């Protein structure tokens, strides 16, 4: 509103009362103008100066907002000494052309704490209905915890960053209630970025309630380290759901893998678990020995259209050691519990590895050993497993889970009276922790 000006020309005959009336009118107009201007200033919107793009190096602390989606462009590195904080409900979509990846370098931190009602989502930047496995890279966290390499190794995937050290309790931050969708790219054959890659990550780090969906390589790969995790889901992975190497010695409680029968790596075999001491089967220490409790691993179960490369529920090889207990393995095409290399089988035979109190089913070869194993036969492996509380199931249905093979609304909880419910086996014991934050149909979601 423009101000109103009053010009009063005094005349000898003007009465003083009329002059006062004119002044009062002018004063009211001026007051209205000032009040109106003040109101306009109060209603002026605050400009959001946040850059909703993640690219290049993050060298100082940065906290994101959850008010709109971020775009991840290319390889983004959180450098040593910097912390990237991501609040609950944040969505980060990778640019498809530049195939982004988020790398937390050794000494850097990520604080990504979602909630069951407001998870953090990393996904493809493609529109709903067009997202595909391999649209972007994934998340890599590198720490200072021990590996079995004599010198700090370099992480794969074309990242060229080293990891590992002597600090078992190293803290790389928090990932909690996080979904990672349509990730997994190969920089070169045998050098891939997985959905979530953990290199030398220490047990001061929190990894809980994570879902990796339609990953084009492994869902989770652990290269050494001591990090302890719980509530991990691998849904429709191309390669391995859980892969361990280079001396990983942490624990994982409550793990789920659900395979899509029609989707698997065309050039490699897809397993629920694959583990090596290292790539050549040396006796380097610490031995890779994941301690896994309450897993539910669900294979294709010979469904119509099952792709040929679906493989084993467990593939323990190359001098690895392991502990898998209180778990359910059903529906894998070519094997349930499988061991390769004499060093792997000997450690199991000697009690350095354990496979106890599990329900085991496979379409073929429930218990098996590789052609390179001479210290145990498959029959001897089966006898030992059954003596250690395992149960060989004639069919996947004998596990008596509610709806484990559904690709859109799975239910991994046991039916009343099932052997899983009676003995506290599998990933869902009591409250179903998968409810509320997971998404089994992400390609229909308009982020």
pLDDT tens readout for residues 374-403: 999 999 999 999 999 999 999 999 999 999
48 occurs within a structural domain: no
Residues 237 and 303 in one domain: yes
pLDDT band of residue 187 (cuts 50, 70, 90) is: confident
Residues 28 and 93 in one domain: no
Residues 346 and 227 in one domain: yes
pLDDT band of residue 318 (cuts 50, 70, 90) is: very high
Q: With beta carbons less than 8 A apart as the criterion, state whether 310 and 297 touch.
A: no
* Domain assignment of residue 172, given as a range: 53-444
pLDDT band of residue 11 (cuts 50, 70, 90) is: very low
Choice among 19-33, 66-80, 429-443 with the minimum mean pLDDT: 19-33
Total number of domains in the chain: 2
338 occurs within a structural domain: yes
Residues 164 and 240 in one domain: yes
pLDDT in tens, 266-278: 999 999 999 999 9
Choice among 106-120, 179-193, 349-363 with the minimum mean pLDDT: 179-193
Q: Measuring CA to CA, how many Å separate 388 from each of 201, 271, 395? A: 32, 23, 20
Residues 16 and 105 in one domain: no
164 occurs within a structural domain: yes
46 occurs within a structural domain: no
232 vs 30: which has the higher pLDDT: 232
Residues 36 and 60 in one domain: no
Residue 22 pLDDT > 90:
no
293 occurs within a structural domain: yes
Residues 226 and 375 in one domain: yes
pLDDT in tens, 254-268: 999 999 999 999 999
């Amino acid at each position: 509103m423009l101000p109103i000006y009053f010009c009063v020309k005094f005349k000898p005959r003007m009465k003083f009362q009329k002059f006062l009336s004119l002044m009062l009118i002018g004063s009211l107009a001026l007051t209205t103008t000032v009040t109106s201007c003040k109101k306009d200033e109060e209603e002026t919107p605050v400009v959001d100066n946040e850059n909703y793009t993640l690219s290049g190096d993050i060298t100082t602390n940065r906290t994101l907002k959850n008010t709109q989606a971020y775009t991840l462009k290319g390889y983004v590195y959180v450098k040593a000494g910097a912390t990237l904080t991501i609040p609950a409900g944040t969505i980060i979509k990778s640019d498809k052309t530049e195939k982004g990846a988020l790398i937390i370098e050794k000494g850097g931190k990520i604080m990504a704490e979602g909630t069951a009602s407001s998870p953090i989502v990393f996904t493809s930047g493609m529109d709903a209905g067009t997202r595909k496995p391999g649209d972007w890279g994934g998340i890599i966290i590198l720490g200072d915890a021990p590996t079995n390499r004599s010198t700090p190794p370099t992480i794969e995937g074309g990242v060229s960053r080293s990891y590992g050290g002597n600090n078992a309790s190293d803290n790389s931050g928090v990932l909690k209630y996080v979904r990672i969708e349509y990730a997994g790219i190969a920089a070169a054959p045998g050098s891939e970025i997985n959905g979530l890659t953990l290199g030398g990550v220490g047990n001061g780090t929190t990894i809980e309630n994570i879902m990796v969906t339609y990953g084009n390589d492994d869902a989770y790969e652990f290269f050494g380290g001591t990090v302890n995790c719980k509530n991990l889901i691998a849904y429709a992975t191309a390669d391995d759901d859980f892969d361990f190497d280079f001396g990983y010695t942490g624990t994982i409680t409550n793990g789920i893998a659900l395979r899509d029968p029609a989707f698997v790596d065309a050039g490699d075999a897809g397993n629920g678990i694959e583990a090596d001491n290292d790539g050549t089967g040396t006796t380097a220490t610490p031995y890779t020995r994941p301690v896994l409790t309450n897993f539910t691993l669900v294979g294709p179960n010979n469904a119509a259209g099952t792709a040929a490369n679906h493989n084993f529920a467990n593939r323990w090889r190359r001098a690895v050691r392991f502990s898998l207990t209180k778990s359910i393995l059903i529906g894998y095409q070519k094997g349930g519990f499988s061991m390769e290399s004499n060093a792997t089988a000997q450690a199991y035979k000697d009690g350095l590895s354990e496979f106890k109190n599990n329900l085991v089913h496979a379409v073929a070869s429930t218990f098996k050993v590789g052609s390179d194993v001479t210290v145990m036969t498959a029959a001897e492996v089966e006898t030992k497993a059954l003596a250690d509380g395992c149960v060989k199931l004639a069919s996947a249905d004998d596990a008596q889970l509610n709806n484990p093979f559904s690709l859109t609304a799975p239910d991994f909880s046991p039916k009343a009276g099932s052997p899983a419910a009676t003995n506290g086996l599998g990933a869902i014991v009591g409250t179903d922790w998968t409810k509320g934050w997971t998404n089994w149909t992400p390609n229909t979601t308009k982020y």
